[in-house]
Copies of this chain bind each other. A is one copy, B any other.
Amino acid sequence: MEAATNMVELGALVGDRARAAMLAALMGGQALTATELASIAGVSKSTASDHLGKLEGARLVRFDKLGRFSYYRIASPLVARMLESLMVVAAIELPPRFCPQSAHDRQLRFARTCYDHLAGRLGVAITQSMIERKLLALSDDGGELTERGEAFLQASGIALSLQTSGSRCFCRPCLDWSERQFHIAGRLGSGIWHHCLDNDWLARIKGTRAVDLTASGHREIPRLFEIDLSAIVNAT
């Protein structure tokens, strides 16, 4: 059982409170320092360093030294996909249990980054709206822009934010663990997120994966994506 042996190692790495908290934080897509990750995981610096060494040894994370800082990040999109699928099963398949919702949880549920695209109620709402406007068709395992969608992309300027690298899937549905609906991943998802970020419509809430609307985002996002912000801001 060669494959199983490595799967055990992988599971054991994720199956620890502190390490899982670090990986979840890194799923925000940003590189974080060892001290930040120690604080997020709620462990001492020495423990954090130990954990990060293991994660790096298994090539789940990479790190770059910048001066005296070590910036850690998810090693590859493949690892991100794996964590994504873990979170989906964790959220949907596991028996429900009592979990008090913190303020932070509420922020995450409103909007967050999922490695390199937008998730939460905002991400799902944008996706739904694009489908209703027939800009996009999404199936369980893939998606495609319509002609109207192509035009929309050009007109809005999002096209400029798209990476041109061909190997990644252009549009991929990503099951949202909090909403239990799909949002857009792949290059298109990444392009939409970066477009919102570049135009200062959205800003990361520092130290977390959560994202918040700026004043201009409040104005421009509902206009561009034709969504009703008030409905999703005030949801449960």
- Shortest CB distance A206–B (Å): 16
Nearest-neighbour CB distance to chain B for A124, whole angstroms, equals 15
Chain B residue nearest in CB terms to A109: B2
A141 to chain B: which residues have CB within 8 Å?
Answer: 141-142, 169, 172, 186
Q: Is the CB of B105 within 8 A of A10?
A: no
Interface residues of A in 30-72 (CB under 8 A from B): 57-60
Chain A positions 76 through 95: 1 when the CB is less than 8 Å from some CB of chain B, otherwise 0:
10110111011111111111
| A157 at the binding interface (Cβ < 8 Å) | no
Chain B residues near A83: list those with CB within 8 A.
Answer: 7
Number of A interface residues in the complex (CB < 8 A)? 60
Q: Which residues of A10-25 are within 8 A (CB) of B?
A: 10-17, 20-21, 23-24
In the complex where A2-B101, A99-B5, A172-B141 touch, is A93 in contact with B14 (Cβ < 8 A)?
A: no
Q: Is the CB of B4 within 8 A of A8?
A: no
A9 vs B89: C-alpha distance when bound (angstroms):
11
Q: Give the dominant DSSP class at A's interface.
A: helix
Q: How far is the CB of A16 from chain B (nearest CB, A)?
A: 7
- Is the beta-carbon distance between B24 and A16 smaller than 8 angstroms? no
Task: For the complex, give the distance between the alpha carbons of A141 and B93 in Å.
Answer: 23
Please determine whether A2 and B99 come into contact, CB atoms closer than 8 angstroms: yes
Contact assessment for B99 and A88 in the assembled complex, using a CB-CB cutoff below 8 Å: no
Task: Encode A81-119 as 1/0 by CB contact (under 8 A) with B.
Answer: 111011111111111000101101100100000000000
Report how far A79 CA is from B186 CA in the complex, Å: 22
User: Does A6 make an interface contact (CB < 8 A)?
Assistant: yes
With A59-B94, A82-B85, A141-B172 given, is the CB distance from A8 to B1 under 8 Å? no
CB-nearest residue of chain B to A94:
B6
Cα-based distance from A199 to B16 in the complex (angstroms): 46
Per-position contact with B for A198-221: 1 when CB-CB < 8 Å, else 0?
000000000000000000000000
Is the CB–CB distance between B24 and A1 below 8 Å? yes
Check A95 against B59 for contact (C-beta < 8 Å).
yes
A28 smallest CB distance to B (angstroms): 12
Given contacts A9-B90, A59-B94, list 8 more A-B pairs with CB under 8 A.
A1-B21, A3-B24, A3-B90, A4-B24, A8-B17, A10-B86, A11-B14, A139-B169
